[in-house]
């Protein structure tokens, strides 16, 4: 139940991000992801040994994970290489996407913990892992389009 709740929270955070993200391609991607997270929650709610989708059981499938990977790769192509850790802030859109990323990481930790007790679809776990990376790269893309990322400056406030 904790994993399902964390996935629901991640989905809600993506909804907040959608209230701030304006580019149509990013909005379409986030909207698709929201729908998939409902499917993923249903997948987690139905542990078992057979993870093939049926009319009675929604399952995350390899194509959904592959689509996230393809979107990550496409966004990364236009980004400069990382030169520092990135602070999770900037515009409202960037901050909201970073918050959704952090909540998705928690959902992944909860799902991995649950998978230690019951058999869960490995593709659901892979989806959560790829989704948090997707949101990280999306936040970078948004920040870059808005003038630049907020970079961590180690020790900058020591005096």
Q: Residues 107-139: pLDDT tens digits?
A: 999 999 999 999 999 999 999 999 999 999 999
In a domain, 66, yes or no: yes
Q: How confident is residue 79, by pLDDT bands cut at 50, 70 and 90? A: very high
What is the spatial distance between Cα 148 and Cα 60, in angstroms, rounded to a whole number? 34
- Which among 33-37, 88-92, 155-159 has the top mean pLDDT? 33-37
Structural domains counted in the chain: 1
Percentage of residues of the chain with pLDDT beyond 70: 99
In a domain, 76, yes or no: yes
For residue 148, how far is the Cα from the chain centroid?
A: 21
Q: How confident is residue 156, by pLDDT bands cut at 50, 70 and 90? A: confident
CATH code for the domain of 85: 1.20.1200.10
Q: Assign residue 145 a region (left: φ > 0; alpha: ψ between -120 and 50; beta: otherwise).
A: alpha
pLDDT for the residue 135: 98
Phi and psi torsions of 54, nearest 5°: -140, 180
Residue 107 corresponds to which tokens in the numbers above? 């959902």
Task: Indicate whether 146 pLDDT > 80.
Answer: yes
In a domain, 156, yes or no: no
In a domain, 115, yes or no: yes
Residue 43 corresponds to which tokens in the numbers above? 């997948």
pLDDT for the residue 83: 83
Domain that residue 132 falls in: 2-145
Helices 122-145 and 24-44, packing angle to 10 deg? 160
Q: What does the pLDDT average to over 80-95?
A: 90
In a domain, 57, yes or no: yes
pTM: 0.91
Q: Residues 36-54: pLDDT tens digits?
A: 999 999 999 988 887 777 7
Mean pLDDT of the chain: 93
In a domain, 74, yes or no: yes
């Amino acid at each position: 139940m904790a994993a399902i709740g964390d996935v629901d929270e991640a989905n809600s955070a993506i909804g907040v991000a959608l209230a701030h993200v304006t580019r149509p391609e990013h909005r379409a991607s986030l909207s698709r992801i929201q729908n998939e997270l409902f499917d993923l929650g249903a997948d987690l709610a139905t542990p078992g040994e057979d993870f093939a989708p049926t009319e009675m059981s929604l399952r995350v499938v390899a194509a959904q994970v592959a689509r996230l990977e393809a979107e990550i790769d496409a966004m990364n192509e236009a980004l400069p290489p990382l030169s520092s850790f990135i602070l999770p802030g900037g515009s409202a859109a960037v901050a909201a996407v970073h918050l959704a990323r952090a909540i998705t990481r928690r959902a992944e930790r909860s799902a991995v913990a649950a998978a230690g007790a019951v058999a869960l679809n490995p593709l659901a776990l892979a989806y959560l892992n790829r989704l948090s990376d997707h949101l990280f790269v999306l936040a970078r893309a948004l920040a870059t389009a808005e003038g630049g990322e907020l970079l961590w400056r180690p020790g900058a406030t020591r005096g």
